[in-house]
A = this chain, B = another copy of it.
C-alpha cells in the first residue's frame, strides 16, 4: 500500500492536517515538527496522491491537447512546443488525436471534462459549431491553435492568406507570370482555402490572370504533389512557376517536373509551404514559407496559462509571422 498523510501523521504524532500544511509549506508548525515531518516523509518515500488532492482543490494541473495527428510533423512540432511550456508551468499534457473528425473531437472534449482538466488546447479540425457549443458549456478555458475561429475564443495562428500571398509575390517579383498552384482541400479553411485565396489575391493585385485550371488540388502529401504537377504540366507546360501549399507537395512537384525532363529551377520554379525537413532533402532544396510551429505551440500554452489564472490577455488573437526561406528552387526570370 502506498504511504499516505495518515502514515506520516501517526509516526510523527500529529494530525494529518498538520502534516498536510507542513508539506505544503504553510508555516503552522514548530521548526522541530517540521523537520521531523519532512524526515519521516522522505524516509517513507511519501508521494502525495494528486488525485485526492485534485478532488478537493478542483485543480488537476493537467491540460488536454486535442490534436489532429501526432504522426504529422507539423502537429508533432506544435505539440512539442506546447509540451515544453506546459512542463515549465508544471502542467501535464493529456494528448488526444482526432484525425480531424468531429465525432472524435466531441468525444474528447467530454472526456477531458470528465478528467477535470484545467484547460484545453484545441489544434484539430475546423472547429465545428458542435465543438464550440460543447466547449462553451463545459466552461473549460480553451485556446485554439493554428486555427482561426469566429468566436471569442482566444487563438494563436498564422495568417495563411498573407503568407501565401507573400510566397506568390516572391515568385512574381522574380519575374514569373504564369504561376500554377497545387492546393490542399478547400474544405480545410486554413491551409486549404486561405492559401488559395492568398494565391489568387497576389495574382489579382499584380494584374495576372487567375486560371482555375491551373489550381490543382492535392492532399498535402508527396504523392499527391506528383500527381498534381503532372496534371498541371499536361494542362499548360508553359508555366514558369508553381506554388505548393505544402512542402511535401512541393517536393512532389519537383520530382514530377524532373521526371518530365524539365529542370528546377531552370525551367520551372517551385515554392512550398511549411519548411518541413523534407524541403532540405530535395534537390534542389525547396524555397518555402517557414511556419513557426514550436512557437505556435508555446505561445498557445502561455496564453492558456494566463486564461486559467484569470489574467487579462493583451490580444485575444495572435498572428505569428512566417519567414521566407530562399533556397534553390526558384530562379529569377
Contact = CB atoms under 8 A, between A and B. Distances in A.
Interface of A: 45, 47-52, 54-55, 60, 62, 69-71, 73, 76-77, 79-80, 83-84, 87, 92-97, 110-111, 113-116, 137, 222, 248, 251, 255, 258, 277-278, 280-283, 294
Chain A interface, DSSP helix/strand/loop, else mixed? helix
A281 B115 contact: no
Contact of A71 (B55, B80, B97): B80
Nearest to A110: B47
B95 A49 contact: no
A149 to B, nearest CB: 23
14 contacts: A45-B137, A47-B114, A49-B55, A62-B94, A70-B70, A70-B76, A70-B80, A71-B76, A73-B73, A92-B96, A92-B115, A93-B95, A222-B280, A251-B281
Nearest to A75: B76
Given A92-B111, A113-B47, A114-B49, A277 B222 contact: yes
Contacts of A110: 47
A330 B263 CA distance: 24
Given A47-B114, A94-B93, A69 B62 contact: no
A91 to B, nearest CB: 10
A16 to B, nearest CB: 16
A18 B115 CA distance: 23
Contacts of A94: 62, 92-95
Contact of A281 (B54, B71, B137, B278): B278
A154 B89 CA distance: 33
Given A47-B110, A71-B80, A73-B73, A87 B96 contact: yes
Contact of A50 (B45, B84, B96, B114): B114
Nearest to A98: B87
A277 B84 CA distance: 25
A293 B115 CA distance: 29
A115 B63 CA distance: 13
A58 to B, nearest CB: 9
Nearest to A67: B83
B115 A97 contact: no
Contacts of A70: 70, 76-77, 79-80, 83
A116 B51 contact: yes
A71 B294 contact: yes
A93 B67 CA distance: 13
Contacts of A258: 283
Contact of A51 (B48, B55, B79, B137): B55
Contacts of A113: 47
Contacts of A47: 110, 113-114
B278 A277 contact: yes
